[in-house]
Amino acid sequence: MKLLKPRKKTQANGTNGVGINLEPLKLSLYEIAGEDGFVSEKAEEIYNMTSEAFHQNRQVVLSFENTEEMAPAFRNIILGLLLENFDEETIDRLLSYENISDSVRKSIKFNKERIKFAIEYPEAHARSLEDVL
């Protein structure tokens, strides 16, 4: 599966190319992951759909209905790719969640901060990982 990766961080400019207000894109994590669970290919699929919507300045709603937990690797792939390719303001404006547990919401917030640090300070992040290992 090919990832959509802009060369630099993108900021959605408030237009969707045709001036039409698009309905939010609702992505059900349970329906997308299915019986396979949250494997990396499914995370990439969700990222690709989210990225495409963001490029159209379209809101994305991640639905956690029937989903109690989100595997850390799955979360890291989606958040990492979004943070590498879009500015934080765009992500905060266009991405929302529904039917999400407090524990998953907290872990997303924690991982988001950790990934931002790793992107902004890659050498310091690498050193901190070496210290842990």
Q: What pLDDT, in 10s, does the model give residues 77-117? A: 899 999 999 999 999 999 999 999 998 899 899 989 989 98
Which residues have CB under 8 Å from 40's CB, separation 6+? 73, 74, 77
pLDDT tier at 132 (50, 70, 90 boundaries)? low
> 31-69, pLDDT tens digit by residue?
888 766 666 788 889 999 999 999 999 999 999 888 777
Residue 125 scores a pLDDT above 80: no
With 0-12 / 13-18 / 19 or more C-beta atoms within 10 angstroms meaning exposed / middle / buried, residue 94 is buried
Q: Say yes or no to pLDDT of 75 above 70.
A: yes
| CB 1 within 8 Å of CB 41 | yes
Tokens of 86: 């879009």
